[in-house]
Amino acid sequence: MTAFPIQFSRSPFLTTPSRRRWLQQSAALVLGSGVGSASAAPALSFGITPVVLEDRLGLWRRWSACLERISAVGITVRPYSAYRQVIDGLHQGNLDAAWLCGYPYVLRRDELELLAAPLWCGQPRYHGYVIAREQGRHHDWSALQGCTFAYADPLSNSGYLVVRHWLRQRGHDPQRFFGRSFFTYAHRHVIEAVTSGLADAGAVDGYVWEWLALRHPERVRGTQVIWRSPPFAFPPLVVRRSLPAVQRQALAQALWTMASDAEGAAVLADLQLDGFVPAKASWYDPIERMAREAA
């Protein structure tokens, strides 16, 4: 697997109370943003998905309000339940920007422009994790063959692509390696599927697992990380290429300077991020190559 270059079956996860709360709170999040902007222009639509930290809607309100204040650009945050919906929204012009995964970004490079990449532990990179139950028998890749496996999203790098690529590179058919596989449409739900026994193992974003391990250790209790991928560029923030340059630059500048703003720094601390930096398209080339090889 190429390293980071800096220096099934479809069976949706059962509806859970937390997922219902996500859907119920979505309208409140949309209505709670984009108010009182210094700009008279219509608010820009910013898409997020529960593949990130689904239960932190209040934090996303603070984040968008801070970004709006610094940039003087009205912002409406719109939650979606899958990356496909975000990509479609950007393609159709219903969304102006999004916090996206590197995998869908490289699939739509011609339509999207990078705004920024988050810094986590001082670097704009993260790892994909494969997790399993601590008391289970699935402690390595050989033991995973024939197991029930949970993926996050079919357009997730860490929650889908890296696993398929790893298997293909070692001569396995990803469609046949696991006895059963399904999508949960949130990394946190992959963890829940493993802890509850609905899945023997699963693929998650290492940042999400580590965030929960620090802030809510009870949610990852009973799971163990059995594999870490090579590092990849952190999921980027993007805009559609047709967005006016003045708005694009205002958003980018606000992200790059958020760490020096008092409220922005507080929001970043809650996200366990150090800030945002200008993202380079070449950082995501390894994901693009991996997508071709895993096809």
3-state secondary structure labels for all residues of 37-58: CCCCCCCEEEEECCCCCCCCHH
- Look at 46-60, 119-133, 183-197 and tell me which has the smallest mean pLDDT: 46-60
Mean pLDDT confidence for 219-237: 95
Going 203 to 26 to 37 to 246, the CA torsion angle's sign is positive
pLDDT for residue 93 is more than 80: yes
Predicted pLDDT of residue 17: 45
Q: What pLDDT sits at residue 60? A: 81
**Does residue 193 register a pLDDT over 60?**
yes
Identity at 195, one-letter amino acid code:
T
Which of 61-65, 219-223, 228-232, 274-278 is predicted with the least confidence, judged by mean pLDDT? Answer: 61-65
> Token digits for 108?
């739509």
What's residue 23's pLDDT?
40
Q: For residue 3, how many other CB atoms are within 10 A of its CB?
A: 12
Q: Provide the token pair at 21.
A: 């709360």
The DSSP code for 152 is: S
Q: What is the mean pLDDT of residues 69-90?
A: 92
Can you give the pLDDT at residue 7? Answer: 35
Rounded to an integer, what distance in angstroms lies between the CA atom of residue 126 and that of residue 284?
12
pLDDT score of 37 more than 50: no
pLDDT of residue 41: 58
Average pLDDT over residues 4-26: 39
Higher-scoring residue by pLDDT: 35, 289: 289
Q: Rounded to an integer, what distance in angstroms lies between the CA atom of residue 237 and that of residue 206?
A: 18
Q: Is the pLDDT of residue 52 over 60?
A: no
Lowest pLDDT segment from 1-5, 107-111, 214-218: 1-5
- pLDDT recorded at residue 179: 96
Dihedral sign computed on CA atoms, order 134, 136, 139, 145: negative
When pLDDT is averaged across residues 80-107 and rounded to a whole number, the result is: 94
Question: Average of pLDDT values for 93-103?
Answer: 94
Comparison of pLDDT for 23 and 119, the residue scoring more: 119
What pLDDT was estimated at residue 9? 30
Q: So what's the pLDDT on residue 61?
A: 84
Q: Which of 5-19, 121-135, 194-208, 255-269 has the lowest mean pLDDT?
A: 5-19
Q: Which domains does the chain have, with CATH numbers?
A: 17-121+234-283 (3.40.190.10), 128-229 (3.40.190.10)
The whole-angstrom separation of Cα 291 and Cα 163 is 11
Q: SS3 of 6, please?
A: coil
> 53-79 in b/e burial notation, b at 16+ Cβ within 10 A?
bbbebeebbbbbbbbbbbbebbbbbbb
Confidence of residue 19 (pLDDT cuts 50, 70, 90): very low
Residue 228 Cα distances to 143, 175, 212, 231, angstroms:
16, 21, 17, 9
- The answer for residues whose C-beta is within 8 angstroms of residue 203's C-beta and 6 or more apart is 128, 129, 130, 149, 150, 151, 152, 156, 158, 159, 160, 162, 163, 190
Check pLDDT > 50 for residue 183. Answer: yes
User: What does the mean pLDDT of the chain come to?
Assistant: 85
pLDDT of residue 245: 93
DSSP strands (E only) in 198-273: 201-205, 223-228, 232-233, 237-240
